[in-house]
Amino acid sequence: RPILVPILGDQLTRTLASLRGRTKDDTVILMMEVWDEATYVKHHKQKIVLIFSAMRHFAAELEDAGWQVDYVKLTDPDNAGSFTGEVARAVERLDPRAIRVVEAGEWRVQQAIAQWPDKFACEVEILPDDRFVASLSEFRDWAEDRVQLRMEYFYREMRRKTGLLMDGDKPLGGEWNLDAQNRKPPQEGLSAPERLKFEPDAITQDCIALVEEQFADHFGSLERFEWPVTREEAEEAADAFFAERIENFGPYQDAMVAGEDDLFHSMLSTSINLGLLDPLELCRRAEQSYRDGKAPLNSVEGFIRQIIGWREYVRGFYWHQMPQLQDANALEAHRPLPEFYWTGETDMACLADCVRSTRDNAHAHHIQRLMVLGNFALLAGISPQQVQDWYLVVYADAYEWVELPNVAAMILYADGGKLASKPYAASGNYINKMSNYCKGCRYSPAKKTGEGACPFNPLYWHFMTRHRDRLEVNPRVGRIFPTWDRMDEDKRQDYLDSAEAFLATLEPASPAWARAAR
Ligand code: FAD
Ligand code: DLZ
Ligand code: SF4
C-alpha cells in the first residue's frame, strides 16, 4: 500500500516537505485540476493558464524523474470538482496506508484539509509549509508579545535570523532600511530593459485553449501569455533580473510610467508563489550582487525587505488574523466596486493604465496596486470584500494569504491599523510626483476642486474628514487636520461638494462583472 502525497497548485517545489524522505516505489503523487479552485472566484484567464500549465509541467518533470504521478485533468469525466473529492477518489483507487500533505496556503483550503483525518480511514499527516523563513508558530510567538505589530521590527528579526546584509549583529552599512533613497520620480523617457518573456509551448497552448473554452467569461486577456511555467524558465527570468534590472530596482521602486508595465521590478512573484523559485535563495543572490559591486545597497536592501520583510510578514499576519480578517471593515466602507475596475473605462488616466496592465498582464506593480488602484478604493470607501475579491481575481500572483493582508489591512485599513501604522491615503499630488500619468489626463492634479480638478484631491479631504475622529489621534496623519481647519468655510465646502459630485458619477459593476466575485 503506497503513501499518497497530494500536491496543490502552489506547492510546485521539488523539495516540498511531503516529498522529503519518500521513496519513488512506495509513493503516489496526486495533482488535481478542480472546478472549486478554478472558480471560487472567477480568476483572470492568465492566472488559470499559469497554474494549470505549471502544474502539468511539474507533473511531467516528476514523472521523468521516476515518480508515480496521478494527474487529474479538469476535463476528466470523473473529476469530483474539489480537493477533498479527488483525494477520496484516490483513496478508493489506491488504498494508501497514509496521506502526507503540506498545509495549504489559504485558510479556505486548510479548513477542508483539516477534515481529512476524520474523513479517511488511513493515517493523515499534515506537514508545515517550510518554504518560508518564519514558521507560523514563530510569527505567533513574535506577535503575541506585542501591543502593535510592525513589519519593520519583524523584518529586523528576519535579517538577524537569515544573516542577510548583516555585519555581525548590526545591519550592513549601519541602517536597516534605506527606503529614503528609493523614492526617485521617473524622469522623462525612463524605460527599463525588457523582462524575459516565454513563448507558450504545447502544454501551455493546451491550457490556453482549455481556458478559452471553459472560462470564456472570466476577466482578462490571453493575447500575450509570457509567464515562466517551469523552474528552469523561472531561473532564467531571475538571471535576467539580476543581470539587468536589480541595479535600478531600489531608486525606481515607487515610480510609474504609462505603458511601462514592468519597469525595474523583478516580475518574479508568480514563480515564487507557485514554488518554482526559493525566496531565500533569491535574497542571497541579491546580496551577492551587492557584494560583487553590481547593485547598490539601497536596491538590494529594498528587494530583500520585500521578500523576508513584507512577504513573510503578511503571511504570518494572515494566519494570525484569520478568519476575522476577511470580514473586517473598520472604516465601514460599503460603496460597490465601480465598473471601471473591470473595463478600464474611466477618464482618470492613472486608473485606466493600471486596469489596462492588469487586464493585459494579470499584473500591476506594487505602487500601482497600492497608490493608484488601492488609494482610490480607500478614499472612495469601496466595500473591502468587493475590493478583496477583485484583487484575488485579477493578479496572476494572487493567493488569499498574500492578497488579503495587502488589500484589507495595507490599502483599506479595514483591520483598524493592526498591520499598518496609518492609511496610505494620498491626493493627486503624490501620483503626479511619482508618475507621468497626469500629463495625459483630462484632469489636473494642481486643480483642487470643481470642473477639471483631479478627483483624488477632493476625495482625499472627503476621506480624511469622514474619518477624522479615528485619524486625528494618529500621530502619523493627525497633523494634517490643522491645515483643513485653517481653510475658509467655502473652500472646505467646495472640497466636500466636489467629492460628493464625483462619487455620484461612479457606476457600480454590472451584474456580469459582479458575478466574478464570490
Ligand atoms: P518586486 O517589486 O520585484 O518585489 C520582489 C518580491 O517581493 C515580489 O516578487 C514579492 O514576492 C515580494 N513582495 C513585494 N511586496 C510585497 C508585499 N506587499 N506583500 C508580499 N510580498 C511582497 N503580491 C503577491 O504576491 N500576491 C498578491 O496577491 C498581492 N496582492 C497585493 C495587493 C495589494 C493591494 C498590494 C499593495 C500589493 C500586493 N502584492 C501582492 C505585493 C506586490 O504588489 C507584488 O508582490 C509585486 O507587485 C509583484 O511583482 P514583482 O515580482 O515584480 O515584485
Ligand atoms: C488558484 C488555483 C486554481 C485556479 N486552480 C487550481 C487547481 O485546479 N488545482 C490546484 O491544485 N490548485 C489550484 N489553484 C491554486 C489553489 O487554489 C492553491 O493551491 C490553494 O489556494 C492553496 O491554499
Ligand atoms: Fe490620476 Fe488625477 Fe493624475 Fe488624472 S490628474 S492621472 S486622475 S492623479
In this predicted model, what pLDDT tens digit does every residue of 473-510 receive, in sequence order?
998 899 999 999 999 999 999 999 999 999 999 999 99
CA of 456 to the centre of ligand 3 (A): 7
Buried b (16+ CB within 10 A) or exposed e, 385-405: bbbbbbbbbbbbbbbbbbbbb
Q: Candidates 386, 397, 399, 401: which one to mutate for ligand 1, based on the most atoms within 8 Å of Cβ? A: 397
Closest residue by CA, ligand 1 atom 2: 265
CA of 207 to the centre of ligand 2 (A): 15
396: nearest Cα among 342, 358, 340? 358
- Residue 518 and residue 511: Cα distance in Å, rounded? 12
502: CB partners within 8 A, 6+ apart: 455, 458, 459
User: What domains can be seen in the chain, in order of their start residue?
Assistant: 3-127 (3.40.50.620), 136-195+245-321 (1.25.40.80), 340-514 (1.10.579.10)
Q: Which atom of ligand 2 is nearest to the CA of 39?
A: 4
- Residue 159 and residue 145: Cα distance in Å, rounded? 19
- Residue 226 and residue 223: Cα distance in Å, rounded? 10
CA of 444 to the centre of ligand 3 (A): 7
Whether pLDDT at 517 is above 90: no
Average the pLDDT over 287-308 and give the result: 98
Dihedral angle over CA of 94, 100, 105, 110, nearest 10: 70
- Please compute Rg for the chain using Cα positions: 24
Whether pLDDT at 471 is above 90: yes
Closest residue by CA, ligand 3 atom 7: 348
The percent of residues above 70 in pLDDT, for the chain, comes to 100
Look at residue 450 in the predicted model and tell me its pLDDT: 92
- Residue 294 and residue 311: Cα distance in Å, rounded? 24
- Cis amide prior to 323 (ω within 30 degrees): yes
Look at residue 145 in the predicted model and tell me its pLDDT: 81
Whether pLDDT at 516 is above 90: no
Q: Cell numbers 481556458 correspond to what residue?
A: 211
Q: Which atom of ligand 1 is nearest to the CA of 365?
A: 47
Look at residue 59 in the predicted model and tell me its pLDDT: 98
Whether pLDDT at 234 is above 90: yes
Band of pLDDT at residue 515, cut at 50, 70 and 90: confident
CA of 318 to the centre of ligand 1 (A): 15
CA of 10 to the centre of ligand 2 (A): 6
Residues in contact with ligand 2 (CB, 6 Å cut-off): 8-10, 32-34, 37-38, 43, 48, 51, 104-106, 109, 399
432: CB partners within 8 A, 6+ apart: 438, 445, 446, 454
What are the distances in angstroms from CA 58 to CA 186, 222, 225, 401?
Answer: 39, 22, 18, 23
Whether pLDDT at 511 is above 90: no
Average the pLDDT over 78-93 and give the result: 98
Whether pLDDT at 223 is above 90: yes
Whether pLDDT at 24 is above 90: yes
Q: Candidates 11, 42, 51, 397: which one to mutate for ligand 2, based on the most atoms within 8 Å of Cβ? A: 51
Look at residue 147 in the predicted model and tell me its pLDDT: 82
268 lines ligand 1 (CB under 6 A): yes
CA of 269 to the centre of ligand 1 (A): 6
Q: Which atom of ligand 2 is nearest to the CA of 38?
A: 4
Q: Which atom of ligand 1 is nearest to the CA of 303?
A: 5
CA of 481 to the centre of ligand 1 (A): 32
Whether pLDDT at 241 is above 80: yes
What are the distances in angstroms from CA 34 to CA 74, 84, 277, 301, 390?
Answer: 6, 10, 24, 39, 21
Across all residues in the chain, what is the average pLDDT? Answer: 97
CA of 82 to the centre of ligand 1 (A): 28
Closest residue by CA, ligand 1 atom 50: 267
Q: Candidates 346, 454, 460: which one to mutate for ligand 3, based on the most atoms within 8 Å of Cβ? A: 454
Cβ atoms of residues 358 and 395 within 8 Å: yes
438: nearest Cα among 347, 357, 367? 347
- Residue 171 and residue 177: Cα distance in Å, rounded? 9
Give backbone dihedrals phi and psi of 47, rounded to 5 degrees, phi first: -65, -40
Query: Residue 213: how many CB atoms within 10 A of its CB?
Result: 9
456 lines ligand 3 (CB under 6 A): yes
Q: Which atom of ligand 3 is nearest to the CA of 442?
A: 4
Band of pLDDT at residue 60, cut at 50, 70 and 90: very high
In this predicted model, what pLDDT tens digit does every residue of 119-173 receive, in sequence order?
999 999 999 999 999 999 999 999 998 888 999 999 999 999 999 999 999 999 9
- Residue 37 and residue 81: Cα distance in Å, rounded? 8
Closest residue by CA, ligand 2 atom 2: 37
Q: What is the DSSP string of 503-517?
A: HHTPPBPPHHHHTT-
Q: Cα angle vertex 185, ends 308, 286, to 5°?
A: 30
The percent of residues above 90 in pLDDT, for the chain, comes to 97
459 lines ligand 3 (CB under 6 A): no
Listed as own residue / partner, the contacts of 501-507 with beta carbons closer than 8 Å and 24 or more positions apart are 502/455, 502/458, 502/459, 503/335, 503/380, 503/459, 503/462, 506/335, 506/338, 506/380, 507/338, 507/339, 507/340
pTM for this one?
0.98
In this predicted model, what pLDDT tens digit does every residue of 167-216 receive, in sequence order?
999 999 999 999 999 999 999 999 999 999 999 999 999 999 999 999 99
- 259: burial class by Cβ within 10 Å (0-12, 13-18, 19+)? exposed
369 lines ligand 1 (CB under 6 A): yes
Look at residue 514 in the predicted model and tell me its pLDDT: 75
361 lines ligand 1 (CB under 6 A): no
